[in-house]
Amino acid sequence: MKKFLKTALVGLLSFGLLSNCFGKFGLTKAIYSINGNIQIGTGKVAGFFRSLLMIFPFSIAYYVGGVLDVLIFNLIEFWTDRNPIAMSEYDFDGKLVKEYSENGQTITLTYSEWGKVLRMDAPTPNGVESVYFLKEKPEKAYRLINGKYVEIQQVSGPLLPPMGAKHI
């Protein structure tokens, strides 16, 4: 009995050593993103079909992705501090921040909601100004006013290439 208590106590005390020792589960998040982007119908119908697809085909994908994340990708991330899956750059809240500097000026790009919203912070004579771009409407720019996206009217252009344009 004494040996069991000693083993249980060591196990409980060492449990804290393993907390937060896991990766970002990039593959599982990628599968989740694919499932979340499926649109069949609208409203509750779309939610029903996403749930239905998650039960059979995506449950297998989640299982395989989870096992690969735990056994391979998270171990790689633990030892190299880099995960080979691209989505792993995002934090657990779905946010990714990148900064670009040139000639003493810095532009900050903040991707949120797993890349659905891009906020660009750029220096202006009046300070730093933020412009938002939405993944669902990439050809438009917005400002965030009172919690709502207000479209910035394009006065000249096109500033962005047409949707069907091929990049060289």
- Does residue 82 share a domain with residue 116? no
- Does residue 82 share a domain with residue 35? yes
- Does residue 136 share a domain with residue 80? no
The residue assigned the tokens 């750029």 is: 122
Q: How many domains does the chain have?
A: 2
Other C-beta atoms lying within 10 Å of the C-beta of residue 9: 10
- Does residue 76 share a domain with residue 29? yes
Query: Is 144 a member of any domain?
Result: yes
Query: Is 68 a member of any domain?
Result: yes
pTM of the model: 0.45
Tokens of 25: 């589960």
SS3 133: strand
Per-residue pLDDT band at 27 (split at 50, 70, 90):
confident
- Does residue 54 share a domain with residue 109? no
CA distances from 39 to 32, 42, 112 (A): 14, 7, 21
Question: What residues make up the domain containing 78?
Answer: 21-88
pLDDT, tens digit, 9 for 90 and up, residues 82-130: 666 755 566 767 788 888 888 888 899 998 887 789 999 988 888 889 9
pLDDT over 70 at 161, yes or no: no
Query: Is 108 a member of any domain?
Result: yes
- Does residue 74 share a domain with residue 35? yes
Query: Is 116 a member of any domain?
Result: yes
